[in-house]
Amino acid sequence: MPGKGRPQAPAVATRRWVAGSWEDAPDELAAEEPLQLLLNGSPLSIVMRTPGNDVELALGLLWAEGVLRDRGQLREVRISAEAGEREGMLPLRADLLDSNQIDVRLEGDFRRPERSFLQSSACGVCGATTVESLSLDFPELGPGPELSPAMLPRLAETLREEQPLFRRTGGLHAAALFDAEGELLVLREDIGRHNAVDKLVGRALLDGRLPADRQVLVVSGRGGYEIVQKAVAAGIPLVAAVGAPSSLALATARRFNLTLVGFLRGDRFNVYSSPERLRE
């Protein structure tokens, strides 16, 4: 968890127009800053993100890209002392790096991504230049748990209730992992929904919970390709989104036997693939 790092919701002064007159109105905005990701000291990516949980973000992104495939590959993570992050048994070195830099050091052979790795907060795969660069080298998902359909609306309600930064700013997405009994395991917020998912996967990696084949991923906003791709990489068998899925997300979900739920609002939702995991 972040300590006294960079602010996630900096305060700003505004002028507000209300009922025909102006008034001073302090506000808080969702922070958006670039994080330079280095791999063994060499620049790899610039990710636009909300500061906090940067170690999780970097590890989750490397996992989704197939660069990192085992926790044992981690030799060291170097990060600015200003970030205030502590990860227990992980070899973490807080040194003189810039506050928006992180350097993941891996051991042995690993695959370095071939595609451009610049990511905006709105897109997790914007660096892809060809359809082939989106190909996924992951196994098909196993059967996973069977869930009661009535559980999903409760998960969405928990997601809404456990978003402190969103309540302050109105400008952040959230992603959460739940167990098969509907208990919240971890929730992360970020200005990019794919970043929030990367932080969850990074947390699961650090906790030794990958593959997350008995867990459910719930995300605010739409269920796009990048969300499904990261779920497949983490072994998550069910993804539920508050918004709509995309056609590529659905094609990927069907290819890997992932249950994809969309329009999870109130007491209703649509199931687009592998509905057999949802039964009484």
**Structural domain contains residue 82:** yes
**Do 173 and 124 lie in a common domain?**
no
Assess whether 123 carries a catalytic annotation: yes
**Do 108 and 171 lie in a common domain?**
no
pLDDT 10s digits, 150-167: 999 999 999 999 887 777
Say which residue, 178 or 138, is predicted with more confidence.
178
Kindly tell me if the per-residue pLDDT of 256 is higher than 80: yes
For residue 128, the model assigns a pLDDT of 45
Among residues 134, 169, 197, which one ends one of the domains? Answer: 134
- The lowest-confidence range among 8-22, 141-155, 223-237 is 8-22
For residue 121, the model assigns a pLDDT of 47
pLDDT 10s digits, 209-218: 999 999 999 9
Structure tokens at 32: 């958006």
Among residues 134, 167, 184, which one ends one of the domains? Answer: 134
Among residues 104, 134, 164, which one ends one of the domains? Answer: 134
**Do 102 and 155 lie in a common domain?**
no
Strands (E), 192-247: 215-219, 238-241
pLDDT, mean over the chain? 86
The mean pLDDT of 100-128, rounded to a whole number, is 70
**Structural domain contains residue 88:** yes
**Structural domain contains residue 81:** yes
Domain boundaries, position 60: 33-134
In order of 2, 85, 160, 207, the CA distances from 88 in angstroms are 13, 10, 29, 10
How many CA atoms, within 13 angstroms, populate the side-chain half-sphere of residue 41? 2
Band (168; pLDDT cuts 50, 70, 90): confident
Say which residue, 75 or 164, is predicted with more confidence.
75
CA distance 130 to 93: 37
Kindly tell me if the per-residue pLDDT of 197 is higher than 90: yes
Band (95; pLDDT cuts 50, 70, 90): low
Kindly tell me if the per-residue pLDDT of 135 is higher than 70: no
Kindly tell me if the per-residue pLDDT of 1 is higher than 50: no
CA distance 103 to 58: 9
- The lowest-confidence range among 26-35, 124-133, 178-187, 257-266 is 124-133
Q: How many helices (H) and strands (E) does the chain have?
A: 6, 13
Kindly tell me if the per-residue pLDDT of 186 is higher than 90: yes
**Do 115 and 156 lie in a common domain?**
no
- Catalytic residue, from 123, 136, 185, 248: name it: 123
